[in-house]
């Protein structure tokens, strides 16, 4: 396992791309300071003008903004309405009731109370629970089906409602270094369909599992032909303003009434207390990611701060050592209850996905790291 020389990204990250020992996100961070954010905002506005159909006269929405009960949503919704002057329809692929947190529900109603139109779509609850277990067994990912539903619902509704512009917040190519989704420029989200979670394993595992096609369709990303026919364009907002980051977004959102989770980092491993507010099972995925690839969410958050000059790489190492892979038994037991398995079964499945070059696995229980954070190793 090799680390980026600037941050703590490793070459085991799916679709990682290193050049001269530096990851794609760090390379972008040094080049992007060349363009001012106001110039980028103008570029984005020009792209939007080109994509915009004459929908206003029909009284319909200009665009769809994909939202959740999380921190980025509040900022995105305001930005699109107040800075870009567009009429957005907010679309949320909500979680089934047993997965959705009270905080997530509060944050969604906060968005509605700020005057936005919001459409929430929820999957059939029993199908969602059994697909979560199937995702875990088959892919070592408790949220794969949830993520598929999240990314697919927004373009599906855009196509159904004849709205051709979609906004997401962060560009995964630039923020975490997933090169597969890189577009023609930093705003271009039309390669989102290549996101690892959407492509890995295809759709067949869902159709073979969920026999009613109307329930299965909830999880499928619309095809390229449908995108072309409806002239659907996806834009990332993050690149257009210079203070887009996890921390800035949660500060902004908190000022607008978003509920955070202070003090929860010992349970969730989330040092920002602001990611994954709307449900808790993603924390399990962050732990599983750590066991598979040797890095977790603390690494991603720390990397952002290293690139922003807020932390040194050495300070980052200490935080990552403390928080990567943290996820409490309470959260794990909540998932077990949701999908109908016991704790032993959970660790039996989880430990099949552990990278044994990086971790010691002994029987049922939590694996122990064999590597040193920030130091390259042979595995």
Nearer to Zn ion, 23 or 331 (CB): 23
Q: Residues 24-53 vs Zn ion: string with x where CB under 5 A?
A: --x---------------------------
| Candidate ranges 6-14, 120-128, 165-173, 184-192; the one touching Zn ion (CB under 5 A) | 6-14
Q: State the Cα–Cα distance between residues 149 and 139, nearest whole angstrom.
A: 16
Q: State the Cα–Cα distance between residues 205 and 211, nearest whole angstrom.
A: 11
23, 157, 165, 258: which one binds Zn ion (CB under 5 A): 23
Q: Which residues contact 379 (CB under 8 A, 6 or more apart)?
A: 1, 355, 357, 358, 370, 371
Q: How far is CA 139 from CA 51, 70, 180, in A?
A: 37, 25, 19
| Candidate ranges 2-10, 36-44, 150-158, 205-213; the one touching Zn ion (CB under 5 A) | 2-10
Q: Is 4 in the site for Zn ion (CB under 5 A)?
A: yes
The tokens for 239 are: 């690149």
Q: State the Cα–Cα distance between residues 341 and 142, nearest whole angstrom.
A: 13
Name which of residues 84 to 143 contact Zn ion (CB under 5 A): none
| Candidate ranges 3-11, 58-66, 74-82, 240-248; the one touching Zn ion (CB under 5 A) | 3-11
Q: Is 7 in the site for Zn ion (CB under 5 A)?
A: yes
Q: Is 64 in the site for Zn ion (CB under 5 A)?
A: no
Nearer to Zn ion, 26 or 216 (CB): 26
Nearer to Zn ion, 313 or 370 (CB): 313
Question: Closest distance between Zn ion and the C-beta of residue 7, in Å?
Answer: 3
Number of residues that bind Zn ion (CB under 5 A): 6
Question: Closest distance between Zn ion and the C-beta of residue 25, in Å?
Answer: 6
Q: Is 16 in the site for Zn ion (CB under 5 A)?
A: no
3, 6, 64, 326: which one binds Zn ion (CB under 5 A): 6
Nearer to Zn ion, 240 or 306 (CB): 306
Q: Is 311 in the site for Zn ion (CB under 5 A)?
A: no
> Which of 199, 122, 125 lies closest to 153, judged by CA?
122
The Cβ-side half-sphere exposure at 356, using a 13 Å CA radius, reads: 5
User: Is 259 within 8 Å of 277 (Cβ atoms)?
Assistant: yes
Nearer to Zn ion, 2 or 366 (CB): 2
Q: Is 68 in the site for Zn ion (CB under 5 A)?
A: no
Question: Closest distance between Zn ion and the C-beta of residue 168, in Å?
Answer: 22
- The SS3 of residue 98 is coil
How would you classify residue 106: left for phi > 0, otherwise alpha for psi between -120 and 50, otherwise beta? alpha
Q: For the chain, give percent helix, strand, coil, nearest 5.
A: 50, 10, 40
Q: Is 9 in the site for Zn ion (CB under 5 A)?
A: yes
The tokens for 253 are: 């959102």
> Which of 141, 241, 159 lies closest to 196, judged by CA?
141
Summarize as ranges the residues that interact with Zn ion (CB under 5 A). 4, 6-7, 9, 23, 26
């Amino acid at each position: 396992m090799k680390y980026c020389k600037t941050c703590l990204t490793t070459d085991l990250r799916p679709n990682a791309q290193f050049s001269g020992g530096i990851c794609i996100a760090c390379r972008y961070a040094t080049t992007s300071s060349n363009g001012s954010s106001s110039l980028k905002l103008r570029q984005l506005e020009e792209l939007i003008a080109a994509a915009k159909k004459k929908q206003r006269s029909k009284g319909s929405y200009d665009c769809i903004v994909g939202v959740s009960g999380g921190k980025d949503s509040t900022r995105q919704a305001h930005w699109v309405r107040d800075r870009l002057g567009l009429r957005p329809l907010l679309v949320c692929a909500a979680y089934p009731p047993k997965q959705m947190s009270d905080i997530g529900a509060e944050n969604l109603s906060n968005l509605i109370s700020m005057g936005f139109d919001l459409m929430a779509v929820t999957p059939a609850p029993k199908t969602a629970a059994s697909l979560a277990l199937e995702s875990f067994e088959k892919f070592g990912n408790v949220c794969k089906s949830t993520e598929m539903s999240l990314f697919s619902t927004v373009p599906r509704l855009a196509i159904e409602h004849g709205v051709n512009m979609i906004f997401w917040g962060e560009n995964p190519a630039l923020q975490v270094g997933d090169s597969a989704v890189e577009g023609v420029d930093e705003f271009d989200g039309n390669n989102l369909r290549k996101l690892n979670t959407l492509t890995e394993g295809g759709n067949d595992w869902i159709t073979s599992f969920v026999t009613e096609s109307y329930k299965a369709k909830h999880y499928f990303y619309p095809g390229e032909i449908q995108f072309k026919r409806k002239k659907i364009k996806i834009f990332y907002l993050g690149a257009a303003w210079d203070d887009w980051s996890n921390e800035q977004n949660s500060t902004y959102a908190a000022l607008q009434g978003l509920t955070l989770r202070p003090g929860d980092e010992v349970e969730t491993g989330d040092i920002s207390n602001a990611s994954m507010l709307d449900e808790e099972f993603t924390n399990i995925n962050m732990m599983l990611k750590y066991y598979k690839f040797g890095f977790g969410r603390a690494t991603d958050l720390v990397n952002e701060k290293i690139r922003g000059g807020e932390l040194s790489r050495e300070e980052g190492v200490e935080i990552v050592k403390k928080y990567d892979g943290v996820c409490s038994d309470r959260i794990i037991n909540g998932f077990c209850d949701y999908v109908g398995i016991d704790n032993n079964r959970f660790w039996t499945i989880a430990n099949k996905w552990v990278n044994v070059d990086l971790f010691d696995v002994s029987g049922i229980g939590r694996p122990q790291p064999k590597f040193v954070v920030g130091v390259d190793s042979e595995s």
